[in-house]
Amino acid sequence: MLIAGVVGVGYWGPNIIRNLVANKKFTVKYCSDLKSQRMDHITSLYPTVKTTKDYKEIINDPKIDVVAICTPVFSHFEIAVAALKAGKHILIEKPMTSTTAQAEELINLAEQKNLTILVDHTFLFTGAVQKIKELVDSGDIGDIYYFDSVRVNLGLFQHDVNVVWDLAPHDISIMDHIIGRSAESIAATGSDHVGNGLEDVAYVTVFYPDNIIAHIHVNWLSPVKIRQTQISGTRKMIVWDDNSPSEKIKIYDKGIEVVQTTDQIYNTLIQYRTGDMYCPKIPQTEALAVELDHFAACLESGTKPISDGYSGLRVVQILESSEKSIKNRGKEIRL
């Protein structure tokens, strides 16, 4: 049995606690928050969970094996360093840290201590993303041409991060997982329409080896809520609509074939291929439940999680580079 403590029970922390309590491999001993009413809510639901306003009480408890960090991103590094130095495995909310340097330091510290970092890139554990990854890895889609994602709505404006840091970690982590290669460079543009210095609309383009291109559009000012991703390959194409209640993934047997004529070697012809469309069945298990099962299995076997510290690092690198590019009117940033 893994004994866990949760730091931060505002928005996401209660979901973590609910799934930890439901998982037979974990027991939740402690939770911490600066607001008493949040902790009172947790104890009303789970009377055996102790509460404290000082997260260090959790970290200093020798019986705690795992610390889940569900606080604002600016506080992640300090709490994670303290937890790792105390010999605790950590589950850390996305994005992992505020800077690439901080992420690298956490990875080095965890490796020195032989501890595990799992970054809470929850979408990687959804049935939809697992199915897409399966299709890509099997070769059914062929070689990837592009990854295109839209995540927009008339959303909650954040006071400490721009729309890229708020919304894009989901899509960046999915993109990183699906493509499975290191990005080469980033170019991003965005605008601040409120006047607080934080972009509320942004477009991020990521360049990969072998001419693979990825594009992410995030927006707090959209009149409609869209959560859609398209992945095009040399053999088939995928459309994932996360808002769809039933047919979340559609696979199209469509594409192009490039043919060079023998009599005119420099004359390139594009032929279009149109076939069937089908919708695979997607498991409906809650992603957090799958993620925590995976975390427990990794801790038991000593293997690295799918969303380990390096996964978190790559996401932070792209976020940091995107922000730098936006401030320089779309300048390409090499990674």
| CATH 3.40.50.720-classified regions of the chain | 2-115
The predicted pLDDT at position 275 comes to 77
Check the CA dihedral 189-191-196-198 and report its sign: negative
Pick the CATH number of 124-283+316-334 from 3.40.50.280, 3.30.559.10, 3.30.360.10, 3.40.50.720: 3.30.360.10
Query: Is the separation of the CB atoms in 218 and 198 below 8 Å?
Result: no
Amino acid at 65: D
Has domain 2-115 been given CATH number 3.30.200.20? no
Query: Is the separation of the CB atoms in 296 and 23 below 8 Å?
Result: yes
Q: What is the DSSP string of 36-102?
A: HHHHHHHHHH-TT-EEES-THHHHT-TT--EEEE-S-HHHHHHHHHHHHHTT-EEEEESS--SSHHH
| CATH 3.30.360.10-classified regions of the chain | 124-283+316-334
The predicted pLDDT at position 267 comes to 62
The predicted pLDDT at position 40 comes to 95
The predicted pLDDT at position 256 comes to 74
Per-residue pLDDT of the chain (335 residues; tens, 9 = 90+): 999 999 999 999 999 999 999 999 999 999 999 999 999 999 999 999 999 999 999 999 999 999 999 999 999 999 999 999 999 999 999 999 999 999 999 999 999 999 999 999 999 999 999 999 999 999 999 999 999 999 999 988 888 899 999 999 999 999 999 999 999 999 999 999 998 999 999 999 999 999 999 999 999 999 999 999 999 999 999 999 999 988 999 999 987 776 666 565 556 666 676 778 899 999 889 999 999 999 999 999 999 999 999 999 999 999 999 999 999 999 999 99
* Pairing between β-strand 89-93 and β-strand 66-69 as defined by DSSP bridges: parallel
Q: E-strand spans in the chain?
A: 2-7, 26-32, 50-52, 66-69, 89-93, 117-120, 144-154, 185-191, 201-207, 213-219, 221-233, 237-241, 249-260, 268-278, 333-334
